[in-house]
Amino acid sequence: MAKFLDSVDARALRFALGFPVVLAAGFVVCASLLRPDLPDPLAIRWTDDGGASFAPFGAYMGGGAALIIVVGWLGLVQAVPLSRPVVMRRIMMGTGLFLTLFITSVLAAGLVGQAGLADARQSRVDLTVLALGSGAALSLGVVMAFVYKADRQWSPEDDQALEAAVARELDPDLVRDDIRLWVHARSSVFVMIAVASLFPGALIAIAVPWLGLLLVLLAVVGAAFLFARVTADRRGLKVRLAGLVPVMDVPAGAISAASAAEVKAADYGGWGYRHHDGTAAMLVSSGPAVVVRKNDGQQVAVSGGSPDTAARLADVLTRVAARARRGGTPDTAAGGGS
């Protein structure tokens, strides 16, 4: 999805998809207002003697709206890919707008030419509506081709990326002082949760459907507590439960020491987030973890995934804590997201 969005003009894509739909909806509304004054069926083809082919009002209105949308999409979408030349994209944007408005004008001229008649065989296409609509469609198409900015536009995201690049260039160690990782329980734990909830939930659902669904929902929530997003940068340590709920935020200046260790979850109160007697822990399993000692004497324990990632996490926290003690200011570009 990200590659697709990088290859297209997002604003042009929104316009290309939305404008024909809005125009078709406007045509349907206007046709509905004329419905009491129109014959049934309506003429859809004319000769010198009048209407020659006919269709019900619903088919004329629905088919016309569908034609507006399809032709509009086919024409306007040609201006969306960034890989095409700028001039070509401008021409296709103007052409697509012209075609969409022109078809709407033709359909409207056919309706107005039949308004007030009892028999569609006596109808003619209203040339005034057709001429005015076609002229306006051509003019607006030309204007669109000139005003459409097909060049890449600078965005706030580009400003942020530029600031981050400048910060990395001025401070090569910035990247080393930034680590982000997901930690989660072993797969066997999730299999156990599934077995303990899905099968009983299916049996309970036979008698009480909502109770079986509630059991499965509780199992999903419980499994989410065994996922965590750990972020360490020059601002300190942050941990988000299931990647969403912030449970720990330790500023770099509050860290006195950090070390990797093999821990038992039972020593910290079990799996998940725990806080007891000045010790906070977010452990998804027993094994590699990082134990952080704070200046106020409290401790924080966080699962580190593997021994290597736990060692890297401890190293980053030790380095940013030392930097904070020396008076270094947290760099906003170091950890924009989590």
Task: Show the domains of the chain with their CATH numbers.
Answer: 2-147 (no CATH), 174-185+226-325 (2.30.29)
For the record, the structure tokens of 332 come out as 């906003």
Task: Note the pLDDT of residue 335.
Answer: 44
Give the count of alpha carbons within 13 A of 273, CB side only. Answer: 15
Q: State yes or no: pLDDT of 19 exceeds 90.
A: yes
High-pLDDT (> 90) share of the chain, %: 24
Distance separating alpha carbons of residues 305 and 325, to the nearest angstrom: 28
Mean pLDDT of all residues in 177-185: 85
Strands 272-276 and 287-294: unpaired
Task: Note the pLDDT of residue 196.
Answer: 81
Task: Note the pLDDT of residue 70.
Answer: 95
Distance separating alpha carbons of residues 283 and 3, to the nearest angstrom: 35
Kindly report the average pLDDT of the chain as a whole number.
Answer: 85
Mean pLDDT of all residues in 267-281: 83
Mean pLDDT of all residues in 267-295: 85
Mean pLDDT of all residues in 256-263: 88
For the record, the structure tokens of 229 come out as 């997003």
Give the rounded distance of the alpha carbon of 223 from its chain centre.
Answer: 25
Task: Note the pLDDT of residue 167.
Answer: 67
Mean pLDDT of all residues in 187-200: 81
Helix (H) or strand (E) holding 115: none
Q: State yes or no: pLDDT of 256 exceeds 70.
A: yes
Q: What digits encode the pLDDT tens for the residues 30-66?
A: 999 989 889 988 988 888 888 888 899 999 999 999 9
43: exposed, middle or buried (C-beta count within 10 Å: 0-12, 13-18, 19+)?
A: buried
Task: Note the pLDDT of residue 46.
Answer: 86
Question: Is the whole-model pTM more than 0.75?
Answer: no
Work out the end-to-end distance of the chain between its first and last CA atoms, rounded to an integer number of angstroms: 20
Provide the 10 A C-beta neighbour count for residue 101: 22
Q: What digits encode the pLDDT tens for the residues 90-129?
A: 999 999 999 999 999 999 999 998 888 888 888 888 999 9
* Among 116, 139, 112, residue whose Cα is nearest residue 126: 112
Confidence of residue 152 (pLDDT cuts 50, 70, 90): low
Mean pLDDT of all residues in 155-174: 70
Give every CB contact of residue 312 below 8 A, 6+ residues apart in sequence. 179
Distance separating alpha carbons of residues 122 and 136, to the nearest angstrom: 28
